Structure 1
Amino acid sequence: MSDPVPPHFPPLMTGLDAQGGDPFVLACQKAELGVEAGLIAYDLGSSSLRAALVLAPEVPLAQAMTMLPLCAVGLQNALGALAPPEVAVHLEWNGQIRINGAACGHLTVCASHSDPATQPDWLVIGLDLPLWPSGEGGETPDSTALYAEGCADVAAPALLEAWARHCLHWIHRWDEGELRTLHTEWRGLAHGVGEETTEHGLTGTYLGVDEDFGLLLRTAEGATQVVPLTELLEDI
């Protein structure tokens, strides 16, 4: 049997097979060692698609964190191009993905430091998308997997390639100053706006996001609180 053909990525991006390891951890390690932005570490397992993209936005971390919702929009656009038209993809502020209303994977983020006012040396966006359910149907009614939602014809390598292309497209538009366009695209996909939610110890009505995609919450007392995206940074 011939070896599987590796994913083909657009110019400025290169792939690295994690060979069963955690692509998010691998990408962060490579970033620490000084790898160039555009590296995509990936693991195309039988039951999940895992990948991580190394970036180096030349702005302070507070603005660089926009890469998290940007890459989420890139995933929705990729699924929009490959999945049947009746499949609905929505995005939670904290990186969770919803397909046909149920939770289905998430995006994560790590950076070289956590100071919002300082430009990071690197930033890594991770993607973890289940392809097949991990348990019996009905055990977790609020959770699903891609192939359980009518997307069995969406091949994982093709989806990974499409995610890379759409992320690169949005990074270019963001770099050209089209932040408002990104906001408009993301707002049309946002899940839970107008509903009560709790994030990082704050509970209130989810009003939307500020310019840097910080979560806006109206508390029971009527005050508006902001939860910055930097609260979502993960430690490796």
Structure 2
Amino acid sequence: MSEGPNFPPLLTGEELTGTSDPFVKACTEATLGCDAGLVLYNLHPDRLETAIVLAPETPLEQAMAAFCAVGVGLQNALGALAPPEVAVHLDWSGTILVNGAACGQLSVAASTSEPGEAPDWLVVGLTLPLIPPSEDAPGDTPDQTALFLEGCADVDPVALLEAWSRHTLVWLTQLDDEKGRETLHREWRGLAWNMGEDVTLKTGETGTFLGVDENFGMLLRGADGQTQLIPLSERLKRN
């Protein structure tokens, strides 16, 4: 493993240790007025945790596209570092899937929950398990996995963090451009898990996942044939 990650221009890394949670710390730092582009990370032996602080200049519902940009950035990074047979998908709720099993989670928080209000800050966090918490019978939880169980034992977590930050920055810098957002939209749709299939959301809602609108809100068709739009801002972590 290399000594420490190198981040691209516009991003500033800060390492945390022990049990410090980068997502919680990033939200605290954002509330205190830290600069945008701060990346907090904690490289545990069994998992990678990181979070990035952003300062959107668009209404919250449009700014939520950053949540998807971070996920696509991870897929791009794993695509560059992992064996070609490793398939990465993104669930609309933020779950990361590797070879069809849950392998990590994206989280998002903002200074406001009002869709039409531009947030002072927005934080997107990423947790990615590297090895399972226990070596006992990994087959007992076939719907959950860890990166190193999926042929990625040679992927250096520091190199992965670096690659994720580079790819994510590329997508984030395109969000102010209409064509860039359209490109992200196409890329994310190609990675979306269960699109076109029946899904059950964590809120208990069920229906057919038809797709997403221009702001990545879910189009969900219920049993009554009616389609509802669920804004992506519903994924915000509430303080």
Q: TM-score range by the shorter chain?
A: over 0.9
Higher mean C-alpha deviation, range 60-69 or range 192-201: 192-201
State whether structure 2 residue 225 is matched by structure 1 residue 222. Answer: yes
SS at match of 1:142: coil
- What is the rounded CA distance, in whole Å, between the counterparts of 1:225 and 1:201 in structure 2? 14
TM-score by length of 1: 0.96
Letter in 2 for 1:228: P
- What is the rounded CA distance, in whole Å, between the counterparts of 1:198 and 1:217 in structure 2? 10
- What is the rounded CA distance, in whole Å, between the counterparts of 2:204 and 2:98 in structure 1? 26
1:15 aligned residue = 13
Say whether the 8 Å CA contact 1:111–1:120 is kept in structure 2.
yes
* CA-to-aligned-CA distance 1:137-194 (integer Å, 9 cap, x gap): 1121100000000001111111011111001001122223211111110111111011
SS at match of 2:17: coil
2:149 aligned residue = 148
Say whether the 8 Å CA contact 2:65–2:175 is kept in structure 1.
no
State whether structure 2 residue 209 is matched by structure 1 residue 210. Answer: no
- What is the rounded CA distance, in whole Å, between the counterparts of 1:62 and 1:155 in structure 2? 35
Which segments of structure 1 move beyond 4 Å, counting only runs of 4 or more?
none
SS at match of 2:103: strand
1:59-208 equivalent positions in 2, closer than 5 A: 59-135=58-134, 136=136, 137-177=138-178, 178-199=180-201, 200-208=203-211
- What is the rounded CA distance, in whole Å, between the counterparts of 1:144 and 1:58 in structure 2? 37
- What is the rounded CA distance, in whole Å, between the counterparts of 1:71 and 1:91 in structure 2? 11
SS at match of 1:5: coil
User: C-alpha displacement at 1:197, in angstroms?
Assistant: 1.0
User: C-alpha displacement at 1:112, in angstroms?
Assistant: 0.7
Letter in 2 for 1:36: D
Letter in 1 for 2:96: I
User: C-alpha displacement at 1:6, in angstroms?
Assistant: 2.2
State whether structure 2 residue 7 is matched by structure 1 residue 6. Answer: no
Structure 2 gap ranges (5+): none
Say whether the 8 Å CA contact 1:18–1:26 is kept in structure 2.
no
RMSD of equivalent CA atoms: 1.2
SS at match of 2:164: helix
Structure 1 gap ranges (5+): none
Letter in 2 for 1:224: T
Aligned length: 234
- What is the rounded CA distance, in whole Å, between the counterparts of 1:206 and 1:17 in structure 2? 38
User: C-alpha displacement at 1:202, in angstroms?
Assistant: 2.0
Give percent identity, aligned residues only.
Answer: 59
- What is the rounded CA distance, in whole Å, between the counterparts of 1:185 and 1:65 in structure 2? 16
TM-score by length of 2: 0.95
SS at match of 1:174: coil
State whether structure 2 residue 29 is matched by structure 1 residue 27. Answer: no
